[in-house]
Amino acid sequence: MLEFINNTKFRNYWMLTICALVLCCGCADDDDGTNADIVQFPRISAVNSSSSEQDGVAKAIVKLSWAYTQPVSVDYFIAELDETASAVSDEDFTPLSGNLVFAPGETQKEIEVAVVDDSVAEPDEQLRIVISNAILGEIISSTGIITILNDDEGFFVDNSGPDSPTEYPGLSLVWSDEFDSEEINGDNWTHEIGGSGWGNQELQYYTNNPANSFQAATDSNSYLIIEAREEQISSNQYTSARMITMDKQEFQYGRVDIRAKMPLGRGIWPALWMLGADFQEVGWPICGEIDIMELVGHQPSLIYGTAHYGNSPSDRDSKGSNSFLSGATYADQFHVYSIIWAENSIKWLRDGVQYHQLTPADITPYEWPFNSPSFFIFNVAVGGIWPGSPDETTTFPQRMIVDYIRVFQ
């Protein structure tokens, strides 16, 4: 064997063969006809795409820069964006992961992601595709944004349930919000922002994001929607909205009717209530608080009407009652939550039927703080001392849907 290898003629032939192979590999032509210095693989990109919600699927797209002669593969996963108000996994879309293989000659692959086609008029939502671990390819763009285009021109709501009159003997309608404009009326409402627990160890961050509070219309009606969502802002794991009429719409005495449908689930805490207009001057509870309606989501058939009063946060009291809905929940239909408020008297009603009344004699020895103007507050809290935290049975989003608020005097 050594003699054979050392044979000069064969050695020269073998060296020429190797040189030819090297030159062949080094002189491969690119598509543009120029000589490439090295053998190149196609470049792989996750690209941005958009799909209509009503299609029921969103398409994630991955592309090659050119067709290759061998199979090219890459791993992928579909997930939420790390941004507020993105599409929510298992709520707006079904997450998935896997491996894509481009057959020889292919330059584009599409992945169908199942999305929920609801009837809620809401902002467009986004998710992402992320690719990694390419074989016979070079990743140059690892993330693509998938936009779900909301195409709901209307808003489906089951409007069934009790309603209230538009007039009462001896009373005039002095203010109402029927929520029939395209946007929340800034002449009536202000959003409160923040996530400090709100004195009750609540878990949500209140926003003015249109994903948390918006108005929507059906063919026959219009509504205000306050939506609690499972999404993180800062250290808060949930978002929601809290809207007030302070310095805009404040009233002393009258009949208040609010027609609304409640959310439900452990840790969900919707409220329609009032605070004294002197809240910023004297503080709570001296200003007085009238809870027209509160509900804790693990008791969806029970609402509470309560008044809070006192001399200081450490010297205070409250009195209230509740109204039980037999065989149904307050999330099933709309109901009308009312107070009839007069000097030295407050009555609470559900669907026109009184279930609680309070007078100054009932709160002795505390002073009666309810003979001065108050403003309205609508909110959906998540967690807190009273309802506790959401658990594995709680689903999101949860929505309080308000048909109208009317004040008669």
Name the range with the highest mean pLDDT among 5-19, 47-61, 159-173.
159-173
The verdict on 268 and 202 lying in the same domain is: yes
For residue range 31-74, what is the model confidence (pLDDT) as tens digits? Answer: 444 444 566 899 999 999 888 777 788 899 999 999 999 999 99
**Region 282-287: what's the mean pLDDT?**
98
Unique residue bearing structure tokens 């800062």: 234
DSSP letters, 125-191, are EEEEEEEEEEESSEEEE-EEEEEEE---SS------S----S--TT--EEEEE---SSS--TTT-EE
Integer Cα distance of 375 and 290 in angstroms: 10
Cα separation of 315 and 311, whole Å?
6
**CB neighbours of 82 closer than 8 A, spacing ≥ 6?**
none
CA-nearest of 70, 50, 43, 256 to 150 is 50
Q: Are residues 246 and 290 located together in one domain of the fold? A: yes
Q: Is the pLDDT of residue 20 over 70?
A: no
* Bond into 397 cis (ω within 30): yes
Residue 121: closest CA among 88, 155, 85: 155
Give per-residue pLDDT as tens, 222-272.
Answer: 999 999 999 999 999 999 999 999 999 999 999 999 999 999 999 999 999
pLDDT at 19 over 60: no
Q: What is the pLDDT of residue 83?
A: 59
Domain boundary among 149, 183, 214: 149
Q: How confident is the model at residue 4 (pLDDT cuts 50, 70, 90)?
A: very low
Quote the number of domains for the chain: 2
Rounded Cα gap, residues 304 and 283, in angstroms: 23
pLDDT higher at 153 or 70: 70
CB proximity list for 32: less than 8 A, separation 6 or greater: none
> pLDDT at residue 146 above 70?
yes
**Taking the mean position of all CA atoms in its chain, how far away is CA 303?**
24
CATH number of the CATH domain containing 203: 2.60.120.200
Largest CA distance in the chain: 124
Neighbours of 184 (CB within 10 A): 19
**Same-domain pairing of 143 and 221:** no
Is residue 289 among the annotated active site residues?
yes
For residue 406, what are the CA distances in angstroms to 112, 167, 190, 216, 306? 47, 10, 18, 19, 20
Bridge partners (DSSP) listed for residue 99: 75
Same domain, 185 and 121: no
The verdict on residue 29 lying in a domain is no
Q: Residue 299 carries which side chain, given as an amino acid letter?
A: Q
Q: Is residue 88 part of a domain?
A: yes
Residues 312-326 pLDDT 10s: 999 999 999 999 999
**CATH number for the domain including 142?**
2.60.40.2030
Q: Please answer whether residues 101 and 112 qualify as being in contact, where contact means their C-beta atoms are separated by less than 8 angstroms.
A: no
Is residue 192 located within the same domain as residue 72? no
| Residue 235, pLDDT score | 94
Task: Give me the pLDDT at residue 5, please.
Answer: 36
User: Domain range spanning residue 114?
Assistant: 43-149
Q: Are residues 195 and 324 in the same domain?
A: yes
> Is residue 118 predicted with pLDDT exceeding 80?
no
Q: In what order do the strands lie in the sheet with 108-114?
A: 108-114, 57-64, 43-47, 138-141
The answer to whether residues 207 and 348 belong to one domain is yes
Name residues whose C-beta falls within 8 Å of residue 392's C-beta, 6 or more positions apart in sequence: none
pLDDT of residue 51: 82
Give the domain-ending residue among 149, 165, 184: 149
Domain end (from 134, 149, 164): 149
- Regarding whether 188 and 294 lie in a shared domain, the answer is yes
Catalytic one among 289, 343, 367, 392? 289
Q: Is 294 an active-site residue?
A: yes
**Does 326 share its domain with 403?**
yes
Residues 66 and 196 in one domain: no
In a domain, 17, yes or no: no
Task: Identify the burial level of 369 via C-beta atoms within 10 angstroms of its C-beta, where 0-12 means exposed, 13-18 middle and 19 or more buried.
Answer: buried
- For residue 50, the model assigns a pLDDT of 82
Residues 288 and 383 in one domain: yes
Say if residue 78 is in the same domain as residue 177: no
Whether 312 maps to a domain, the answer reads: yes
Mean of pLDDT values over 19-29: 43
Active-site pick, 112, 153, 294, 367: 294
